[in-house]
Structure 1
């Protein structure tokens, strides 16, 4: 399907391999798949800056604001593995298109929401659509482009756009909220879907697993139920704390279901997750690094949004500009990270990037109740550069040394880690910032814990990868 353009070497010399060239149809396919992934990443962040305005309009108090994020993240993380496997067995293109349709309709509902219930329903359905789009889109990409330089290039473009989508969403969210109102942020996603959905059916090939093994129904039920229970417990604690009976019950239930899931996977002939693969050092520690960099950076963005607007009194537009600087430096990091990986390797780059992200998050503790916008802009922007370096290097670490026949599973683990990381960070630590009367004190507590977790993970990943290598 893809087109390579050869070049003739000079006489007596060996020319380096010609760079991969994507044909016209390949570029259109890549556009559709990357646009869908970009749209989902945008949804994770475009609403963040608008949260205070949205809360005042719909009647959501501060402790309930994070539900605007969690209502989306809960189904998108909880159903990811299940929908990925359903796509493998019954058709990735079919499920991808269904996910796009649900996502577009849900975005329209969130745009027109007349009360908190309607809005949160739209957000939950957006998450359900995203859970179908992300794994099937990644599988369609890896099955459309052959193993080698073309697939590497396609995955590189997809990963960069996915990372930029989160940051660009912060800028667009601020500009659109101040000029058109918070509803325009959800309307943008509905329009985006209308652009992508009509192109997809005629361009994307159908793809499914040839041997079509049985669906691991017990595994799917336990892992989905376990993730939903855990995320619900963490999110509910944002309003009522961890002392509530419902929080404790769902927390214990979630842990028990995940334990049962591991037991099921160890015995199933066609498991959702291969446990032997998880025992490989590069996969275990690489995914740990990816989980932490995604979850902790999304938490920093969330609490800084509240700090800049509620504590310093910045407008949504000004807050968006702060994260706009972050986006520019992330693009710079996307250019230099591959060069650093080429010099010191993906594993060392992952450890160094995590350490940098942790140290720069700790630097944010220097903000005060009266000033801190400049420090926040510089520190979060530099931390985001390290964050993007960690994203690129953890994906390469996880997939390095994996046989061709298992690359799809390794890529699926990368995607799952990314989505779960984006899902759990805000409900896990956001509780501490949004409960209690002292927002500034809560923000500092979250930043301190965030930095400690990232730095501790950098040390653990460094030791683990060194020992396994």
Structure 2
């Protein structure tokens, strides 16, 4: 009896240690995403005030927001590949440290150009953290309920952090000033960095490697040419899309047209290269044969569209409240509170449901609910009460993106080999970042085109442009339903522990 009792106590202690380690890991990786998304939300609400204080021209008004995604999106694949060699913990710590420095820099900057440059470097630092977060989770948390919860919490960081930032941004603008948002963000990031030193376990393989071994692995195990071709093309596309979001006429300038032409030319070069690499049995960043997997391809298309729509709806909801209804920054912020609640609740509920309900059903139901958001905003009238349409639309906006984050990460990491889960995290975040850029660029061009081609009161023409944009987002959500119904049907539950 005593032996059985002792064994049971040891098992209980071991289980408790695993749970505390999991909580420490999830808290750190989720909080770093939450804080960065919070800063993005603060930026959106505070941007008019920041532009006045830093003398940022209207031609560069969108760049503080877009340059961060641009820098992050085009370096994620390279950083993810390096993470698989160097180790998740090291990359995460380096990223968190530089995020702290760049966040401080954004808070003390004196000009608009400085803010844009620091936001770009901040995006590079974030690209170190995102893939390493996925690798840390998959290498330290076994498949099952805990990993499902970990990805759900990681997913909650983005929409919840962004929504909190929208709320705090309005408070800071009308009280202590927007710079304190960055100071607070820097303090939180540094605290996460310190806790991560002790809370994130060392990777057994990478921590024991010598420098020469790491350099050899970096040379032999990473498809540098493929990374460079794809990252360069994506970076140029992202830049052109950012320019396009500021006005379709700017696309006709020499620089955007040149970069767009180069980006298009790099695509067939990349396809030819990776096919040759796979045929010869060499290392390839994303094997072309992977795209023949209907589930993987459909999932990537879904992530791309959903994140583009999600970003666009958030952006135009902000414009609707401020530019059409003439609400103050703090009143706008308060109206985003339902998004915080539904975003957090959806992620935690998804972590529990994901191994009990078929993944395609989860995504279909959540996409149907989210489709209500642009539909309501397409028919809303500015004089209507907030509770009539805007409240429901705001609350429904993040649901599909939150469900998809957990489902997509679980599926993508199951498709990629365990030794390349850093790259898998890079693939997911690259697709979502590019989706953000494309969604914002297309909707911004559509809205401005409709507004410029109409005559009448400024507010009415603005609303007509926004209304067409919301109809476009609704159509994109309907397209998602079709892709999910065809491509993800009968994939079953994900995140189930296989003995």
Q: TM-score, normalised by structure 1?
A: 0.86
Q: Measure, in 2, the Cα distance between the counterparts of 1:321 and 1:54.
A: 20
Mapped contact 2:167–2:334 kept (Cα < 8 A): yes
Match of 1:54 among 32, 50, 53: 50
Q: Is 1:49–1:173's contact at 8 Å kept on the other side of the alignment? A: yes
Shift of 1:278: 2.9
Matched-pair contact (CA < 8 Å) for 2:222–2:283: yes
Structure 2 matches for 1:271-282, cutoff 5 A? 271-282=284-295
The whole-number CA distance in structure 2 between the counterparts of 1:466 and 1:198 is: 44
What corresponds to 2:441 in structure 1?
Answer: 427
Aligned to 1:377: 391
Tell me what 2:150 maps to: 154
Secondary structure in 1 matching 2:336? helix
Match of 2:346 in 1: 333
> Does structure 2 conserve the Cα–Cα contact (< 8 Å) formed by 1:63 and 1:434?
no
Measure how far apart 1:57 and its partner are: 2.7
Taking a change above 3 Å as real, the CA distance of residues 310 and 114 of structure 1, as seen in their structure-2 partners, is: same
Which residue of structure 2 aligns with residue 113 of structure 1? 109
Alignment of 1:21-420 (within 5 A): 22-60=18-56, 64-204=60-200, 205-206=202-203, 208=206, 212=217, 213-241=220-248, 242-268=251-277, 269-337=282-350, 341=354, 344-371=357-384, 373-374=386-387, 375-398=389-412, 410-420=424-434
Q: In the TM superposition, what is the alpha-carbon distance from 1:342 to its structure 2 partner?
A: 5.6
Q: Distance in 1 between matches of 2:421 and 2:223?
A: 20
Deviation track 1:271-320 (CA, whole Å, cap 9, x = no partner) reads: 22233223212211122212211121111111111221122111111111
Structure 2 stretches lacking a partner, 5+ long: 1-5, 453-460, 493-499
Whole-Å separation in 2 of the counterparts to 1:83 and 1:360: 35
Q: CA deviation at 1:198?
A: 2.3
Contact 1:289–1:394 under 8 Å retained in 2 = no
Please state how far the C-alpha of 1:78 moved relative to its aligned partner.
0.8
Cα distance, 1:408 vs structure 2: 6.2
* Mean Cα deviation higher: 22-31 or 276-285: 22-31
Seen in structure 2, the aligned counterparts of structure 1 residues 462 and 219 have a Cα distance that, compared at 3 Å, is same
Equivalent-residue separation in structure 2 for 1:189 and 1:233 (angstroms): 30
Deviation larger for 296-305 or 330-339: 330-339
C-alpha distance 399-139 of structure 1, shift in aligned 2 (>3 A): closer
Q: Deviations over 1:74-98 (max 9, x none)?
A: 1011111111112222343333222
Task: Give the 3 Å change call, closer, same or farther, for CA 318–6 of structure 1 in structure 2.
Answer: farther
Number of positions where the alignment pairs a residue of Structure 1 with one of Structure 2: 456
Does 2:472 correspond to 1:458?
no
Name the SS of the counterpart of 2:360 in structure 1.
helix
Contact 1:75 1:128 in 2 (8 A): yes
What SS does structure 2 have at the residue aligned with 1:46?
A: helix
1:446 matched to 2:460? The reply is no
Cα distance in 1, alignment partners of residues 403 and 99 from structure 2:
30
Kindly state the Cα deviation for residue 423 of structure 1 after the two structures are TM-superposed: 4.1
Say whether the 8 Å CA contact 2:56–2:111 is kept in structure 1: no
Tell which structure's C-alpha radius of gyration is larger: 2
Report the more deviating stretch, 420-429 or 293-302. Answer: 420-429
**Cα displacement string for residues 243-296 of structure 1 (whole angstroms, at most 9, x for unaligned residues):** 333322222222222332232222332222233223212211122212211121
CA deviation after TM superposition for structure 1 residue 414, in Å = 3.0
Q: Taking structure 1 as reference, are residues 113 and 411 closer, same or farther at Cα in structure 2, changes over 3 Å only?
A: closer
Structure 1 301/162 Cα, relative in aligned 2: closer, same or farther at 3 Å? closer
Q: What's the TM-score once normalised by structure 2's chain length?
A: 0.81
Q: Deviations over 1:203-224 (max 9, x none)?
A: 4314649993332221121111
Distance 1:388 1:6 in 2: 41
Q: CA offsets, 1:223-247, max 9 Å, x none?
A: 1111110011011123342333332
Higher relative contact order (CA 8 A, sep 6+): 2
Q: CA deviation at 1:346?
A: 0.7
**Contact 2:360–2:488 (Cα < 8 Å) also in 1:** yes
In the alignment, the residues of structure 1 paired with residue 348 and residue 91 of structure 2 have an alpha-carbon distance, to the nearest angstrom, of: 34
